[in-house]
Chains A and B, each alone.
Chain A
Amino acid sequence: MAKYRTYPYDRKKYQSNQKPVRSKRVPKVNPIVKYFKDLGTCLSEGSTCVKLSTVFMGLGHIYNYQFVKGILVFLVQALFIVYLIFAAAPNLAKFSTLGTVKREAIFDPLTMQNTVNEYDNSFMILLSSVCALFIIFMFFLFWVSNIKSMYRTQLLLEARKHVNTFGEDFKELLGEKFHVTLLSLPILGVILMNIIPILILITIAFTNYDQNHLPPSELFTWVGVRNFVKLFTQTTTSSFGYAFRRILEWTFLWAFFATVSNFLLGHLIALLINSKLIKLKRFWRTLFIVTIAVPQFVTLLLVRNFLADSGIVNSICSNMGITAFLQNIGLVSKNITYIPFLTSPGWAKVTIVIINIWVGIPYQILISTGILLNIPRDQIEAAMIDRASPYEIFKNVTMPYVMFVEGPTLVTDFVRNINNFNIIYLLTQDVYVTTDQALANSHGKEVDLLVTWLFRLTNEYYDYKMASVIGVIVFSICSVFTILSFSRIVAGEREEVFM
């Protein structure tokens, strides 16, 4: 089992806090530089068969009597070249302009049908080009790894060591290379569903793809950073700068309040339920969890109608005189006869935060109960022996423990709330109408988050270019926070520490 020794399988490395002593000082090299340096070594010191395989992949293998492998690798290269010539090249050629031939339909009197010319579909060009560039990049990696493996074979042959046959290589997929077997399908899925869409999103941000340039009938093309400039500036014709500032402010405000309120109130209620003075703990907890049982979209749509301008809460409030009271103290305008829970900017924002508390706290209670039950009893007992008051125990024992466990997730929750699409969309879509003309011009609303704004821009107004710019911005914001928090999640020091 010698081959495993080089990998950190030994537990001691993880158990001891000391850093492993390095026998040799290895200077730190940039991995990318190293990658190309290795390639250079392979090419300059490789034998003929290594050099041959730079042009005809697989020839080197066949030269070394690895026929099956050679043929497979050669087939991959052949497929790639066919793909490149017949599918990728035509699109890549138009990538710089995203197409020049507009769609035109000519009525043909002979067949009584419209014939359509061979038009360019800008979006399909963009999509295929992004895919093609990605595939070319992947092929390049494959090409390099092939050369490197040829060079390794050469070294093995020179040292008169055993070279793996195809069968042995295949078996390695269940042994040392098992990670390749496990990870390839999930990675393929991630590429299809996450990476390619993100790349497309980024590229669209630099085009003029919008309602006036919708393929297939129209073309769109590159416009540089014009969309970014548009998003940050406010002119007489475009109010995007203003809308962006307003919506960004509210997004952060919302994310802050949503995260903090859920965290604090959730813990308070969990503490209350778990308090020694409370009987029937299970019963209370179950009542809260009942609200989770109904799917979120059902409860949100329900609450939206519950609090509607002419809804049941408003009719009860006006019967009880609450509406009149609120009108007297100036919280509700005298022109309306209802409480505008979800229809005036101020009220809607407060209501949304409160409904978010309503939705989120049952989950928070579940989490906090788990944490509170796991607080080391000895610490609390020690504090009790020292005659600490319940408040002191809470402040000095409970809270630090809770913060230790939950601190990192607060940042994650913050990011999640920045993108909390469901709550805002389901509560305000079709209900909230903005009165701010400048916001309305750029299709925003006071209660929008950046993501709901983005969704409306694409789904209702086909303004893909601005939506993509917003997407890129949100992505940058989120990644900053993510990098802040995740270093703690996968820092690695806590892996396999439990033994």
Chain B
Amino acid sequence: MKIKRAIISSLLHILLAFITFLWIIPIIWLVVTAFSGYRGIDISHFFPETWSTKNFGTILFKPDSVVQYVTWFKNTFIIAVFTCIISTVFIFMVGYAFCCLRFPGRKQLMVFSVVLNMFPGVLSMIAVYFVLKSLGLTNSHIGMIIVYSAGSGLGFLIVKGFMDTIPVSLRESARLEGANELQIMLKIILPICKPIIVYQVISSFLVPWGDFVLAKLMLNSGLSKDWTIAIGLYNMLDKSLINKYFSIFCAGGLLVSIPISVLFILMQKFYIEGVSGGAIKG
């Protein structure tokens, strides 16, 4: 019995190792190409023939007309900071209103928001572009921040779900003590919601780093100093540029994934903490 078990176990390990290997290959390729001495795509060798770190040097210290990595990073960072502040505040307010307040039309409004949230942003993108253009906000940070955060109130479901687990008695007792709704929200509900708020902050902070479509449409001036990281990196793979910039693209992709992965791991931690913590308190 024990031998059979050991055999099955080792077979499963081999299977798992094989699957993980498949998953990891492209990432390994990304890493090794980022350290390659050859700037185009090396199609005959998986591991580069010459190793060097000068791709990172080019990206960080030698901006040219194509590569303005530090500027892009700064642009994306500014957009991301404001987006995450506005989105989190909006989502928290909407979540609180739908969870803790009872007002006429609440359910209809909630249903409407959920349906509207399902509406794919890609479809009305063009109209969004024209609206922003008529306001003169394309190719600007403010425009991008509006694009990412204005409609964010619709994504309230996770926060509301969390708040639903907070006992009603907490709010009721505060109300009996004479607190008004604002005080209840800020002094009672907000501290309890900390994990889910942190989750929301991180996840909305990550949006501009990963978004490609909206940025491509809104930042169309052709000036690389206006771009975010996503468009800048995409542009490096243009047919005329790819043979000079592919390894730099890899280096750039690798650099941007470091902060993102740290934030992502943090976010997961807070998400799990939020979900389980809420349930225990309830």
Contacts and interface: CB of A to CB of B under 8 A. Distances in A.
Nearest to B220: A459
Nearest to A304: B237
Interface residues of B, number: 100
A498 B165 contact: yes
A302 interface: yes
Interface in B99-135: 101-103, 106-107, 109-111, 113-116, 118-120, 122-128, 130-131, 134
Given A279-B13, A297-B212, A312-B41, A290 B24 contact: yes
A189 interface: yes
Nearest to A6: B102
B85 interface: no
B127 A297 contact: no
Contacts of A396: none
B96 to A, nearest CB: 6
B176 interface: yes
B91 to A, nearest CB: 8
Contacts of B254: 294
Interface string B170-211: 001001100011100100000000000000000000000110
B59 interface: no
Nearest to A492: B107
A288 interface: yes
Interface string A158-195: 00000000000000001101110111011101101111
Contacts of A308: 41
A87 to B, nearest CB: 13
B219 interface: no
Contacts of A20: none
A250 to B, nearest CB: 17
Contact of B27 (A294, A301, A419, A454): A294
A233 interface: no
Contacts of A277: 5, 8-9, 12
B4 to A, nearest CB: 11
A289 to B, nearest CB: 8
A415 B120 CA distance: 9
Given A201-B124, A479-B115, A127 B20 contact: no
Nearest to A171: B180
19 contacts: A1-B176, A177-B103, A178-B182, A190-B116, A192-B150, A193-B147, A277-B5, A278-B12, A278-B16, A284-B20, A293-B264, A295-B257, A298-B30, A312-B46, A362-B23, A419-B120, A422-B213, A478-B119, A479-B115
3 smallest A-B Cβ distances: which pairs?
A186-B153, A293-B261, A189-B150
